[in-house]
Each structure stands twice: as C-alpha cells, then as structure tokens.
Structure 1
C-alpha cells in the first residue's frame, strides 16, 4: 500500500470519527428533531438537555413537556392554568412521590374567631369564611394573612372566586356579596333568598345558590341578575354544584334528595335518592360534587358515587366515623380512560383521599385538625381543610424530594 493510500485511509478514518461525533440533531429540520424528542422519557430528556445549548433549548421547549405532562399519571389533578409545563411536571412529579409516601408539610393558619366554614382558592390567594362574619384573605406560598373583608351581618357559608380580584360570598344573613379583594370593599350585594344561603357554586359567569328557603337560584354574576328560581326541594338546600358546560346544576337537600336541573329552562330533570342505609336513613345531603359525568354526595357518615348518565349508584364508602361535611370529586383523563379521585372530610377530623375503583382503603388519610373538618379543596400540590377549631390546615405535598 502506497503512501497516498495510507493518507487516504487516515483521512477517511478522521472523517468517520468526525461524522460519528457530529451533532446530528442540529442537522435535522426542527420539526423532525422535535418528533424524535417526543419519544424520549422525561429522564432521557433531562440527560439529552445536558449535551449542549442547542439540545438544552430543544429539550426544554414547552410543547415537549406539555406532552410529557399529559402522558404522566399523576395522583393529584391539575387545577390551575399552566404556562411553564416543565416546571409543572417537576412540581407534580415531586408532589406525587410525596403523596404516595404520605410525606407532606402541615401548616396551620390561625386568625378566625369562630368555626371556619368555607374556602376558595385563586392562584396564590386563599379565602376563608367563618361564623365570625368575616372573610380572611391569605397568601398561600407563605401562609401570611393579607386582609380581612367585613360586611356580612352573620356567618359566611360559601365562597367562590369569580376573577383574580372578585370574590363571591354567601351568608346566613340571606345575602350574596361580591367583593373587590384588592380594595377590600363590597362591590355589590345580591338579594333574593328568604333564608340563610348555605352553598354557592360558580362556573364562568353562572352562579348557583342553595338556601334554607328550599330554593335553588341561578344568577348572572356579570350583570348581578337573577336568571331562574328553581323549586322542588321540600326542605333546606345545603349543597349545590354546576357542570363545566354550564348546562346542568345539582343540589342536595335536607329532604334527602339530589336534584339535577336544566340551567337553560330552570326545570328539574331528575331526582336521585341515595340508597337509605340504617345509619343514615334520616340524614340530610350535606355535600355534593360533580365532574366528568359522575356525582359524589354525602349524608351522615356515608359517601355515594353516582353515574349521572345512568342514575345508578356505583359505590358507597363508610370509612368515616362521624358525619361527612365535604366531598370533592375530580375526573382525570388519562390516555383513553377516566380516573376518578375523591376527597372526603368529616367531623371525625379526617381527610380521606380515595380512588373509587379501589374503595376498600383510602389512598391517604390526612390528620392534623383536632376538631372536625368542615370543608376541603386542593390545588396542584396542596390539600386544604377548614376546621371547627377556628383554624385552616394546609397539607403541602410539593416539598421537593428529587430535582428534575
């Protein structure tokens, strides 16, 4: 082999090495490169992002992590609008690990002078209503008190955020008030009920209220206008909810029935009566929650799960020792199926987290509130409960256990 042949062979070997270590991802059209990255696992994406700046930019794109987030099976459903899907995945991943291990950071908020009866959350703001006639506003990340809203003449039993700055409250004094949270003032007062307003539910601009006067009322919050007054219950209405399409409303009453209403016409579509059990045959419906075609309700110490489409009871739960005060149901769409998650809380001081497909044992039982829990809600990483001992408990599962 002549010298020129050796030179050519060395040149080919060098070229092969260069080609072997060439950044192939940068040579591909961006659309093709992104298609490849979509097949990587979250861990592989993080490893690939360390190759160079270009790979890091591609692997950190929002559309890539949006797909990873949708593919993941998280125990706690997303509740807030997300703009950074990578951080959302990291937060949910850590929260899910902590949830499975039962690892959380409990925090107690003190400030009310009587039993806390209702809660509402909007991004980083938490609102709490109490029998002390006030509404307290808290900063969630820090747990610090922000301000107090005063104006109701009796206890506050319902809270819902309308916008980032507008809060709707329902009171034992028979009124519904709309508050400007930033200014701390009452902007409007809605009159219409002749008894204490026990519960409100708000979707977009439609507000549904239930009262001691046995009525369910539907309001247009934008115009502060009464749309419908729905009659049918024979006793006080303690719980209401609205579906996400604003087509149907649901109400639970002391008459032991649940009614499903058509919001366009104000007519009753159907009445459900939870199967009477010996221990709860004379108990009122204290809480209801609807999502994704399913309805959870409570009476006494029992929780029922219904399919609204078939009007059939799918499951019932009796793990609480005392009356259940709050039920929250969430339908999480995972690939081609719907996974149901449920929170229940009661006078026994427990907050149970359920997977209704396995009703024998709750996934988690949260403790901390020494007295009964009157209501609950959750966001992406926290479970929040209001207590009869005048306090609010926050169980934060977002404490980091692993860095993504």
Structure 2
C-alpha cells in the first residue's frame, strides 16, 4: 500500500525506524503548511477519526473576512465546529492514536496584519515499535507557534482566507515503513496501544477545551483588530465576538461622553482646570462639544477669577472685578466664558511681561493726593481744592467739583513730559468753554486741599486739610453733599468705609468712628503718638499706620487695640489689610514694605528697598499683587506671597507718586506734578471689553 508523502518538514526517528536501519527520508521543506492551511477543508487524505474530526472543526469554523455584518456567521461556524469535533471525538469507536492539538494560541501581530503561523511538532517518542498509522498520528501531535513564512502570503487576506499550497508535480506517497519482525515488537506495540487507550480520556477533554479556546481567542483577536472610526467623533468603536455560553449579541464599546446627559457631563468636566479642559477638547468632536460648553467654562472661569468674600460687610472693590456683566449682585448668564478666560490670561501675561500702555489725565493744577476708580470712572482729589470725575473709557474729564473761587484757568505752563509709548494724553480743557461747562459748585464744598477720598455705589467721603469730612450722595448725576463730619482738630489724612461704618484718621493722632447712615459719632480711638496717616477696615477690625512707626490693630466693638506691628526704624505712611484679615502690609520712611501676620504679629518679610518714602500701598490679594508708590518717582509691582518685585516703572511721571491703586487690568496713580497716570495692561487685548461689568 502506497502512502502519501508527509506534510511535515522532517520525520522524527521512531523506535521502528531505528530498528529498521534504513533511516528516515528527508523531505522538501516547501511542503510546510500553516495551521490555517491544515485546518482548511481541502487538506487531503485525513483518513482517521482524529483528522476527520479536525477537518470537520475547520470546515465549520471557516474564518471569513470580518465586517460588522457577518461576524455572527463567523462565530456561529466556529462554535458549531467545536461542538461537532467534541461529539465525534467522544463517541467514535475508531479513536485516534495520539492526536494532540496542543495549546495553540494566536499570537497578536504587529501593525502589519500577517497572521501568526503555527508549526506542527512531534511528541517525544516512546521508544517502542509503532505501526505506520500510530507513528504518523504521533507526528501530528502538538501544534506550536512559529514565525510567519517570509515567502508566503501576508496581510489580512492571507490571514483570514488562507489558500492551501499547491501540490508539486513530483509529489509521491510517503515510503512505506517495513514491519518490524524482530522478537518482542508485537508486545511493544500492544503496550503502546494500551498506554494510548489509558490516556485517551484525559487527552480528549483537554484537546476539546484547548481547541475551543483557540477558536474563540483567534476570532476575538481578529475582531478586536477591526476598528470602525466614527466619522463624527473620531473615537474608535470595537466589536468583540462572544464565546460559547454567551448571547450572540455584539458588544459595542462606544465613547461614554455620547451617552452621558449634558448636565452630568458639564458637572464632571467643570471640575477640571482650564489647561486640562483645553486638552480634553482635542480628543474628538463629541468631547470638544461637551468641554466647550458655556456651563463648564462659567464654573472654571468664576472659580479662578471671582473674588471671595471673607469678611462682612464686604470690603469695597477697587476698579472692575473683571468677571463680565453683572446685574445688581448677580452675574449675567450667557456670556462667552471661555473667551473671557483667555482674555484674563492674556492680561495676566502682560503684567508678568511689564508691558502696559500709559495714559495721562490732565486737568488738576496742583498735586493730586488721592484717587479711586471703579468700572467706569476715576475720581481724584487735589491740592487745588477740587474733585474731578474722569471717564475711564474716553479719558475725558466729566465733572469738576469745587468752590466758586477755585475755578481753574487756562494753563500757561509747558506740557509735561510723557512716556514714549503713551496712547492717550488729552490736553486740559481748563479755561475753555468745555472746561467751564463741566465745573460744578455744590451747596457744600471744601475750602482746602482734598487729601483723601473713598466711595462705593451710593456715597463718597472726602477728607480735607480743613479738618472735616464731607459725605456725598453720588447716586445722582450731580454729586450732592449730604452732611459734614466735624471732630478732628487737624487735617484728615485718610478715610475708609463699609456698609456700617465711616472711619477717619487725622494729623491730630486720633481715629474717629462714624455711623454711615446717620453721620453720628460712635467712638474715638486713641493710642498713636503721631499723625495717623492711613486706615483700613475689615469687618469689626481696623488697622492703622502712624508717623510714630507703629501699625495697630483695633477692635471696633470695644474700641481697644489688639496688637502692634512696629517698623524697624521710622514712621509709617501707608497701610493695607488683606481681604481675609490675615495679613497687614505697611510702608513708610524705611523705604520698604513690611508684611506682618495678623494673628502672631510676626514680621514675615520686607520688600526690596525703594529709593525714597513709600507714600502709597495697595494690595490686590485675589490677583496676588502689591502696588507701591514712592517719592523716588517709581511704581513697583510685587508678588503678594514672596514680596519679590517683578515690575518697576520709574520716571513715568515727573514728580513724587502720592497714590497708586489697581484692579485686574490697570494701575491708576497720581503724582505731585498734577496728573493722573493709568498703566493699562489690557490695552489692545482682543476681547478685553467682555470683562467689563456693564
């Protein structure tokens, strides 16, 4: 009987072959086949039960080119083949000798789609005589991995639809192995058959399980590589094939952001910071739509830029808040919060880069001692005994308030020097028809220098060298004096107010506390041994700075001072109280700015020295900046936490800096040369108008 030439690349030497002495014949290596080709239904002449069952498995588990439409057909065929193989294998009376498919696993390929081939290797020989059928089945025992054939087909087509190799023309049946007629060969063959029968039960179960695992894992691996890109979102959708025992329903792994309710996704994404949120927007169109939601950016923007209220009553906010339109006490919805965030960050970068645009306000005829501004206007007070109101958008003087004898005249002096980058320097209108039209003489006014002022949305309080304060109603277009506060015996150097109190301090070394609504005097605070140059109010706490070189912390309910903050050498001219009442800043003749801890009284640090008296201080704690103005004609900007100076503007005026205040985008300073100077860090920033409150 002629036998077909073996499919293996080599023949293991069995005991029969050794005894025979004729040697095994070397075969052409071109006859190697892949595991998929051995499983193909066109493999010929598998005549025993094991190979026949194996052929039925392959026939049922034919792998089609995968698509979302025929994956069910592919899986059903694989599972049916496994069941048929197990049924034939467990019931057939004609059992295979030792067919062991072995732990065939499908190794995941690289980005090229070449399938991982498998090579058939023989088991260890039992050194016993074998029949031709038994030895051939043993040579088909274990299926293991090998690298893809370099000359064979590649790509998905070869992996998913393998084609058997052509049979060469010179193919001949394998040579017959002569029967071993030596003594004992029959006994050895009988023993081998008995061993095979004893191990068959365990092998059958293991072979069926491992074959099923191979088919399931292989198909799953193929399917998992097929990823359909969603043309809208760009997020991959992977279809996973079920295994036996599960429903034949495809599990579709989708982008969760597409299924979350918009409200829930907004809540989740609003907990991210702006940098992370911007990266999330680049993931896909679905993520971009969710992360760009105005509801998300509103939370992110306000968390970063909205000022917190630490004490009650709420302190007066200097300048604009920079959080967009506000109606009453409510923030107007529907604003472009993402754009507003970008604008705020652009302005902050201008601060760090020291690149403001200078604007000069001309009109006062003498030193400008004090100033304050809000979203729309700047109010200044001068030694020329007038109060001026300026439009913050057009930089024109809207109103001049003073006595009839204090009308300004046409200036005769040469215009003052300006910075080279000046963007606005509107000349004074004093003595012109326009100047006369804006001059206003109220029913009450100061007849001396205006040394200090502060205002909110309802009233303005001014202090003068005439020893008094005037409370003005500014809710109307015409500033109307309400009442005058009389108690001090010297010039009023500073004032502050909140919803409950008005505080004034004087050169007479006293501090007076007034009822805001009635103007009645509440108490007098005595303790300083020199002029009280500055005061700042936070709730029921007050801090004051004096020429005696000491800053004091007071309790307004009891009228007693709580703690002292001494300078190192000389008197203090300016003081600031942090919004949370935790820190006190003071400056003066020492040419430095001190930072004290309110609770312990400890000096935390001092700033770099100015070249002269620190005449003015302003703390913008929310934005982390300290503004100081000095007699050295400079304005300095320092980090609130460390005191390190990162911006210095020297000689932008021609004389001493007497007052300097700031908000999120600008510094407003006044000088002895009679001008007000604006350093605008938001000038020319696209979208800066979105941050305005009205």
TM-score range, shorter chain: 0.7 to 0.9
Distance 2:362 2:484 in 1: 28
**384-393 vs 53-62, greater mean Cα deviation:** 53-62
Shift of 1:42: 5.2
Cα distance 1:173–1:87, how it changes in 2: closer, same or farther (>3 A)? farther
Q: Deviations over 1:258-278 (max 9, x none)?
A: 2211011111222332122xx
Q: Which residue of 2 aligns with 1:321?
A: 611
Q: Which residue of 2 aligns with 1:250?
A: 543
User: Relative to total residues, which structure has the larger strand share, 1 or 2?
Assistant: 1
Q: Deviations over 1:18-76 (max 9, x none)?
A: 78669975642123220343236358559949x989976973425533324535899xx
1:343–1:354: 8 Å Cα contact kept in structure 2?
A: yes
1:297 aligns with 2:586: yes
1:95–1:400: 8 Å Cα contact kept in structure 2?
A: no
Q: Which residue of 2 aligns with 1:236?
A: 531
Q: Which residue of 2 aligns with 1:184?
A: 479
Cα distance 1:379–1:16, how it changes in 2: closer, same or farther (>3 A)? closer
Q: TM-score, normalised by structure 1?
A: 0.83
Distance 2:681 2:234 in 1: 43
Distance 1:7 1:314 in 2: 69
User: Relative to total residues, which structure has the larger helix share, 1 or 2?
Assistant: 2
**23-32 vs 262-271, greater mean Cα deviation:** 23-32
**136-145 vs 200-209, greater mean Cα deviation:** 200-209
Structure 1: runs of 5 or more not aligned? 333-338
2:263 to 12, 15, 31: 31
Shift of 1:389: 0.3
Distance 2:451 2:367 in 1: 10
Q: Which residue of 2 aligns with 1:372?
A: 656
With a CA cutoff of 8 Å and minimum separation of 6, indicate the structure with the bigger relative contact order: 1
Shift of 1:6: 8.2
1:142 aligns with 2:394: yes
Q: Which residue of 2 aligns with 1:345?
A: 629
1:310 to 575, 600, 603: 600
Shift of 1:387: 0.6
Cα RMSD (Å): 3.5
Q: Deviations over 1:360-401 (max 9, x none)?
A: x51101231121100110011001111110000000001345
Distance 1:57 1:189 in 2: 58
1:162–1:168: 8 Å Cα contact kept in structure 2?
A: no
1:8 to 60, 69, 76: 69
Q: Which residue of 2 aligns with 1:335?
A: none
Shift of 1:342: 1.4
Q: Which residue of 2 aligns with 1:336?
A: none
Distance 2:279 2:449 in 1: 51
**339-348 vs 302-311, greater mean Cα deviation:** 339-348
1:80 aligns with 2:321: yes
1:162 aligns with 2:223: no
Shift of 1:222: 2.0
Q: How many residues align?
A: 385
Q: Which residue of 2 aligns with 1:41?
A: 274
Distance 2:359 2:549 in 1: 36
2:554–2:561: 8 Å Cα contact kept in structure 1?
A: yes
Distance 1:20 1:327 in 2: 53
1:275 aligns with 2:336: no
1:223 aligns with 2:518: yes
**Which has the greater radius of gyration?**
2
Cα distance 1:217–1:28, how it changes in 2: closer, same or farther (>3 A)? same
Cα distance 1:52–1:223, how it changes in 2: closer, same or farther (>3 A)? farther
2:465 to 172, 178, 196: 172
Q: Which residue of 1 aligns with 2:210?
A: none
Distance 2:339 2:261 in 1: 27
2:547–2:572: 8 Å Cα contact kept in structure 1?
A: yes
Q: Which residue of 1 aligns with 2:19?
A: none
Shift of 1:230: 0.8
Distance 1:202 1:72 in 2: 25
Distance 2:675 2:450 in 1: 15
Cα distance 1:296–1:18, how it changes in 2: closer, same or farther (>3 A)? closer
For the residue of structure 2 that corresponds to 1:199, the secondary structure is strand
Distance 1:393 1:47 in 2: 43
Distance 2:456 2:305 in 1: 30
Q: TM-score, normalised by structure 2?
A: 0.50
